[in-house]
Amino acid sequence: MVLPGPAWKTLPGANDTLVIMRTGSTELQDKLPIHLATTMLRYPNSLVFSDFEEDYEQHHIIDALESVSTQLRETNSDFDLWRRLKQFGRAVLRPDELSGKAVWVDQGTGKAKNPGWKLDKFKFLPMVNRTLFEVPDKKWYIFVEPDTFIFWQTLLAYLSHLDWTKPYYLGGQINIGGIEFGQGGNGYVISRPALEKVVSHYQTHQKEYEDFTEGHWAGDCVLGKALKDSGTSLTRAWPIFQGDDVGNMNYNHQTQWCQPTVSYHHVSPSEIQDLYDFEKAWMRDTANTGTITAKTTEV
């Protein structure tokens, strides 16, 4: 028995949310299709941001970088790929620029040889700015990446216990240079009041944050700084928001036992399919037993 599609979208609280996926042109064809066929079927409201505006498999992809200052886009070498895409489209991408699983990342600096990675840090603040413009009326804004898996029913149950009218910034905590923020790949959630505050702050300090981003390497850290500067500190939500996939979690830490699991990170397309199928069957099998949440348990 397959759970009917509409059942995902009519779960309590589902229509009060907007799910925003951030991806890039160099990884989109490798990582987005599985979400279009699985996880994004669950969401009543969603947006997809990249570094190139296009229509992909009947989904409109928004260019997150369109509102970055003209001088930065035209002169910064990190925008070389963006300028080529703008002029020639996706056909300009070379095989060695496509990320897939082979992209090399320096774990000390986060910098990669892939040109799409160099652009990524500039997307975060323009993305939240455009998100509020496009959909200003939701209670919760849920930001994910292509290697993030969200347990949808569990997340909605978790959010139902929080007051969306207060400024919330929820995520798996990490710290770089004294700035605490929610790691992007874990998924993070921003309430409408917090989103309104950070967007207003960014709009009046755009040059300041663009300068800061140029000298940094982690866009999620830049966003965390802007949220803190606008009055919203991170609500630490690890281990509810996980930084690893299922197979790489350390089950020896009792802090992770019997905690509701909202998200996993570093999840491959095949694992996303498996987790989606698991959640679908699990919701079917527990449909008449009340709200059940996924938990990390001792194995």
pLDDT of residue 293: 56
Q: What is the pLDDT of residue 283?
A: 85
pLDDT tens across the length of the chain (299 residues) = 344 455 888 899 999 999 999 999 999 999 999 999 999 999 999 999 999 999 999 899 999 999 999 999 999 999 999 999 999 988 888 888 887 554 445 555 555 667 888 899 999 999 999 999 999 999 999 999 999 999 999 999 999 999 999 999 999 999 999 999 999 999 999 999 999 999 999 999 999 999 999 999 999 999 999 999 999 999 999 889 987 777 676 666 666 667 788 999 999 999 999 999 999 998 888 775 555 555 544 33
Residue 243 C-beta-side C-alpha neighbours within 13 Å: 13
Q: What is the pLDDT of residue 3?
A: 43
Which residues is 112 bridged to in the sheet? 105
**Omega into 95 within 30° of 0, i.e. cis?**
no
Which pLDDT score, from 0 to 100, does residue 183 have? 94
CA atoms 247, 162, 124, 110: torsion sign: negative
Query: Would the CA dihedral through 103, 55, 184, 14 be positive or negative?
Result: negative
Residue 20 near residue 144, CB atoms below 8 Å: yes
- Choose among 100, 99, 84: nearest CA to 52: 84
Angle value at C-alpha 159, between 230 and 259, nearest 5 degrees = 110
Model pTM? Answer: 0.90
pLDDT score, position 103: 46
Q: How many CB atoms lie within 10 A of CB 94?
A: 9
Question: Are 164 and 192 within 8 A, CB to CB?
Answer: yes
- Dihedral sign, Cα of residue 276, residue 279, residue 284, residue 287: negative
**Cα–Cα dist 223/189, whole Å:** 12
How many H helices and E strands in the chain?
11, 14
The CATH code of domain 5-236 reads 3.90.550
